[in-house]
Structure 1
Amino acid sequence: MTNAALPRRTKLADRWPTALAMVAIAGAVAVMVLLDREVELFGPSIAVMAGIYLMAYAIGRPSTAWLAFGVLSVVMSVLHVLNDRQVLGVDPGVGMTIVLVLLWLWTVARHRFTEGRIFSIQTAGMVGFGALTLLCATVAPRLGVTLAGVGFLAHGLWDAYHFRVNQVVNRPWSEFCAVVDLGVGVALIIVVAT
């Protein structure tokens, strides 16, 4: 008798993306407590999250979501520094939305539009999350933080969908991102409520 018929038991070690996400949530909450800049810091992150999926989709390798996270986090950080030093007259949220559109154009240039359904879903994500990012950059700070929280929660659902279908990004990424998004989204809404 073979073990192929037995279901695989989930080990605690298999949940490393969730454990890593908890550390990331703690870091995000610390930023919220120490700095009073939630809308400035977390609004552009909505475009970053959508951009990670577009970058991995354009490359065509789901595991590159981790690389995309690093690259786009650096891009967002550079936009923040340039904005803080008044070198660049572009809000980081607007800048990240431009980057998001450029990533979408890259998927088109790589002929990923031939995968109609997946491409349409990624396009809808680019439009929706890009619009939320721009709204965060243009409305009053309190409303911007609320929208950022809603954006994070919506992206958590996006992650859960991608975890279920196991496309575009790998499952460890979608698990990690879903937990982070839900935790940070709730924290942002709590900040507004208090």
Structure 2
Amino acid sequence: MTSSNQPHDQPTQQPGNDRETDATSRRIAPLLRRWPTLAGLAFAALTAFDLAGGVELATVLAASAVVYLGTAALGRPGAAWPMFFATFAIIAVAKLVDDRFEPTWAVLGAGILLLVYGLLRGAIRPRHGLPLQTIALLGFGAAATLALFINPALGGYLVALGLLGHAAWDVYHYRANRVVARSLAEFCLVLDTALAVAIVIAQA
């Protein structure tokens, strides 16, 4: 008579497969942590596709400053990503309405409205918030505007210089962990730098 207390079959352990899975996870984890960098490179590739000379990226330079100012006006670093998508929605709509209309004006106009909103809600402190971001918008916005009115080649280099300047702005805010989410600062740093390099290459 067969005993009913026979042990059930136990699943076979495969330590080798477990080690391979752990090794794969360790390789993928750093990439996942750097998703803003990967996203910035991908977005830069899409933006720079079929780049003519660089002056057409003046809108991106203006938008970069508006994202920071808008986030400071709202007083919530987490609003940086929605603000980023909102600025590029404005650019897309401006181009759809009239492809002859320069979307930089729409972006800068949105920046002015956000500044007014921030002032109305009393967001004048801290100083590294709305006050400093307003100065930045004036500087980067002026560079973007000037680039549209000078020689296209010089305008392209001016945009590239402005993007590199904003990349330094991104580094500061990333390290200080101020105004915008660090993921947005990292993304913007990679995007600005990659686009500046793409302009120089296109001008060569």
**Which interval holds the TM-score relative to the shorter structure?**
0.7 to 0.9
Larger displacement relative to structure 2 (178-187 or 55-64): 55-64
**1:114-129 → structure 2 map (5 Å cutoff):** 114-129=125-140
Deviates more, 1:90-99 or 1:142-151: 90-99
1:56 aligns with 2:67: no
| CA shift for structure 1 position 37 | 6.2
Distance (whole Å) between structure 2 residues aligned to residue 159 and residue 172 of structure 1: 10
1:112-154 C-alpha deviation (Å, 9 max, x unpaired): 1132343332121111011011112211211111111111111
Pairwise CA distance, 1:61: 1.5
The structure whose Rg is larger is 2
Alignment of 1:55-134 (within 5 A): 55-84=70-99, 86=100, 91-134=102-145
Q: Which residue pairs with 2:9 in the alignment?
A: none
Give the gaps of 5 or more residues in structure 2: 1-28
- Matched ranges for 1:172-191 at <5 A: 172-191=183-202
CA distance in 1, matches of 2:131, 2:30: 36
Q: Deviations over 1:72-93 (max 9, x none)?
A: 1011122233342x5xxx5322
Is the CA contact 2:174–2:185 (under 8 Å) kept in the aligned structure 1? yes
Structure 1 runs, 4 residues or longer, greater than 3 Å off: none
Which residue of the other structure, out of 27, 31, 35, is the alignment partner of 1:12? 31
Instruction: Identify the residue that residue 140 of structure 1 maps to in structure 2.
Output: 151
What fraction of aligned residue pairs are identical, expressed as a percent? Answer: 32
Tell me the TM-score normalized by structure 2: 0.79
| Deviation readout 1:41-90 (Å, 9 max, x if unpaired) | x1111111111111111222212111111111011122233342x5xxx5
Partner of 2:3: none
More helix by share: 1
Aligned Cα root-mean-square deviation (Å): 1.8
Preserved contact between residue 125 and residue 131 of structure 2 (Cα < 8 Å): no
Unaligned runs of 5+ in 1: 1-9
Distance, in Å, in 2 between the alignment partners of 1:110 and 1:93 is: 26
Partner of 1:44: 59
Single out whichever of 172-181 and 102-111 deviates more from structure 2: 102-111
